[in-house]
Amino acid sequence: MAKQALTPEQIAQYHRDGYFIAKGFYDQEEISRLYQIAIEDAAVSKHAINVNDSSGKRSKLSLWYKPGDDVYGLLTRGETLVNAVDQLLDRAEDDDAHSVCHYHSKLMQKEPRVGGAWEWHQDYGYWYKNEFLYPDQMMSVMVAITDANQENGCLQVIKGSHKIGRVEHGFSGEQVGASQRYVDLALKTMEHVFVELEAGDILYFHSNILHRSEANLSDRPRWSMISCYNRSTNIGYNESSSASASITPIEVVPDDALLTWKTAGLAEENADFLAKEADVSLK
Ligand SMILES: O=C(O)CCC(=O)C(=O)O
Ligand SMILES: [Fe+2]
């Protein structure tokens, strides 16, 4: 079935709440193709980085900058998705071009009983350190590869918290988290929402929304992919590895490329992975 473009209500919801869910954006066939390739992807497992939470549980994530003709790249570059992002991101006054770029994507692997928690943070809390100046020109899209619910550590958000603007971030164990004081203040008036997703659903979220997740205490994996987008007008002055990718407009592919093009996992030489020794918490 053809993918649905955004409705005016969804756009309004994004600006009001800082996020919204598009149910069933990918069908069963698309998600199984993605999952199958992901679990067998040697480059993904080779470049997986362990991220410990404060209780010693660990999640694995693989992060890369260049979206290619691999299965993830075909998804990230899909026409309906990129058009949706284009409608959501703020646009500079003199930007009249196709300016949606891919900053990076990550495959989050929260294994049963092992996968750890993430502290409250804003993604822009990190990206600010990379010296991107415009948070409204940055956002993320989370694709549920497996169901994500309270049992297996789904994402949680503070609804509307993107309107606070950037909050100070500091180290909290091995992770970088938002100031607890501001999280507590936000929670006085804003709703704490558990974003439960079924495989194939996607979550669009603003770079300044406060979010976290719990450990996966269940016996089911929680796998998701998060693609982060930027505009070519928003330069990360302190961003070296992705300097070109994050300001190079995406080469869009038709939606059906995900199923009809010959594809595979990530190509070691093209993807430009975040190195294990680099500080993942700053990404
Ligand atoms: O997958 C999660 O639970 C959260 C990950 C996240 O927010 C991030 O990597 O920035
Ligand atoms: Fe995040």
Domain that holds residue 57: 16-90+97-282
Residue 268 pLDDT:
77
Selection from 28, 2, 59 nearest residue 199 by Cα: 28
pLDDT in tens, 178-224: 999 999 999 999 999 999 999 999 999 999 999 999 999 999 999 99
Distance 262 CA to ligand 2 centre (A): 31
Residue 11 domain flag = no
Could you tell me if the CB of 169 is within 6 A of ligand 1?
A: no
Overall average pLDDT of the 75-90 stretch: 98
Could you tell me if the CB of 60 is within 6 A of ligand 1?
A: no
Phi, psi (5° rounding) for residue 83? -65, -40
Residue 210 domain flag = yes
Taking a 5 Å cut-off on Cβ, the residues next to ion ligand 2 are 123
pLDDT in tens, 127-137: 999 999 999 99
Report CA torsion sign: 152, 57, 31, 13: positive
Residue 29 domain flag = yes
Residue 4 domain flag = no
Q: In what order do the strands lie in the sheet with 118-121?
A: 118-121, 211-213, 155-158, 192-195
pLDDT in tens, 47-59: 999 888 888 899 8
Residue 276 pLDDT:
62
Residue 283 pLDDT:
47
Could you tell me if the CB of 123 is within 6 A of ligand 1?
A: yes
Identify the band that residue 153 occupies on the pLDDT scale cut at 50, 70 and 90: very high
Distance 209 CA to ligand 2 centre (A): 9
Query: How many domains are there within the chain?
Result: 1
pLDDT for residue 242 is more than 70: no
pLDDT in tens, 111-147: 999 999 999 999 999 999 999 999 999 999 999 999 9
Q: Which CATH number covers residue 141?
A: 2.60.120.620
Task: Judge whether 118 and 214 are in contact, CB under 8 Å.
Answer: no
Residue 134 domain flag = yes
Residue 1 domain flag = no
Residue 9 domain flag = no
pTM reported for the whole predicted model? 0.95
Distance 141 CA to ligand 1 centre (A): 11
Tokens 């949680």 correspond to 156
Task: Judge whether 101 and 235 are in contact, CB under 8 Å.
Answer: no
Residue 6 domain flag = no
